[in-house]
Structure 1
Amino acid sequence: MIVRFLRESTVASWLLLILRLYWGYSWLISGWGKIADGFDASGFLKGAVANPVQGTNGVVYGWWTSFLERFALPNAGLFNVMIPWGEFLVGLGLILGCLTTAAAFFGILMNFSFLLSGTISHNPTDILMGMFILVAGYNAGRIGLDYFIGRYFKRDTALERRPIGEH
């Protein structure tokens, strides 16, 4: 019932617009701040490796710590570009309603990466917001550029379904 509401309701598309604008602004500002001020992920990565998430029986996400230590830290320069621009583009996509579900997916992916690295902050609520947008699918971007993108592709798809010679 809630899924149908999120996916089909016009009221839901307006509520999702508000959610998108709020979450998108948060991502956009965070990314732009890192782009404008310069960003160095190496300190964060070193801290995440030195102080991994601990449980009662030791490190909880050993595989993640290994990934950070063996791949992310040696390639910190790559992450210095990917993180700020990823945050900025996720925010832009959410605000404009352009490729909204892709933007929400990558936003959630980054939030989980931050959580696995031991940063709680507002990541759980961001993941929850992103899940609503993902579940809503196309309806989340209906009041945005996804509406026009969807119309363009629907028109092309309708042409492709006609038998040859009836174009």
Structure 2
Amino acid sequence: MGTQEVSLESTIGGVTAEGKLHTLSVWFILALRLMMGLAFLTAGLGKLLGGGFSAAGYLANAPAANGSPLADLFISMSQTGWFMDFVNVAVPWGQLLIGLGLIVGCLTRLAAFWGAFMMLMFYFGNWDVSHGYINGDFAYLLVFLSVAAFGAGRIIGLDAYIEQYDVGGETLIERYPWMRYILG
């Protein structure tokens, strides 16, 4: 195991944050990726194998019952037939594919983005601020964003190999720099 520390620094809005990663950080980043991958894989499989998944009842009732500030939006979604057809496919298959992508570390940033988006929707759908604005859905959203920010797919993942794939004498990521936003 290496002992070299890596320094991080970022400036946003004139405020600079800096720190050093511990040598064990890579293992915790990998653990976060795998944890979220397994959670989403099992959630997607449960919906697909359970048969007859429908989000309509949840969208029409849960957000309004728990006082979500977006309750009207969720109700409108539940009353739009074509949108419900899309959601009833996108949620279980999305969870399954996000989970698989994270577990094998393939298209990790893309998977983490969509996982974070789903968690944002769940956060507003499961609205409960009786113990504050931070709950499990919000925490998972931040875990997904961390997985993306750290390029967790490069840690024992397929993204490390995909990025280095030779395309006409250049690595894939050199030839197509925009792919940094979906790989890593």
TM-score (norm 2): 0.68
* CA distance 1:10–1:101, change in 2 (3 Å): farther
| Whole-Å separation in 1 of the counterparts to 2:38 and 2:174 | 36
1:155 pairs, out of 147, 150, 171, with 171
User: Which structure 2 segments of 5+ residues have no match?
Assistant: 1-6, 11-17, 129-134, 177-184
Deviation beyond 2 Å, 4+ runs, structure 1: 1-6, 8-15, 48-54, 65-73, 118-122, 156-160
Whether contact under 8 Å (1:21, 1:95) holds in the other structure is yes
More helix by share: 1
2:29 aligned residue? 16
| Whole-Å separation in 1 of the counterparts to 2:87 and 2:58 | 11
Whether contact under 8 Å (1:97, 1:146) holds in the other structure is yes
Whether contact under 8 Å (2:162, 2:172) holds in the other structure is no
Whether contact under 8 Å (2:101, 2:108) holds in the other structure is yes
The Cα of 1:52 is off from its aligned counterpart by: 5.5
Whether contact under 8 Å (1:34, 1:84) holds in the other structure is yes
1:71 aligned residue? 77
TM-score (norm 1): 0.74
* CA distance 1:155–1:123, change in 2 (3 Å): same
Q: Secondary structure at the match of 1:23?
A: helix
* CA distance 1:40–1:156, change in 2 (3 Å): closer
Relative contact order, higher structure (CA 8 A, sep 6+): 1
Whether contact under 8 Å (1:30, 1:84) holds in the other structure is yes
User: Which structure 1 segments of 5+ residues have no match?
Assistant: 55-59, 161-167
Q: Deviations 1:96-122 (Å, cap 9, x if unpaired)?
A: 100111111111100000111135673
Count of aligned pairs between the two proteins: 149
RMSD between aligned alpha carbons?
2.9
- Counting only pairs closer than 5 Å after superposition, residues 54-65 of structure 1 correspond to structure 2 as 60-61=69-70, 65=71
Q: Secondary structure at the match of 1:53?
A: coil
Q: Secondary structure at the match of 1:98?
A: coil
* 1:34 matches 2:40: no
More strand by share: 2
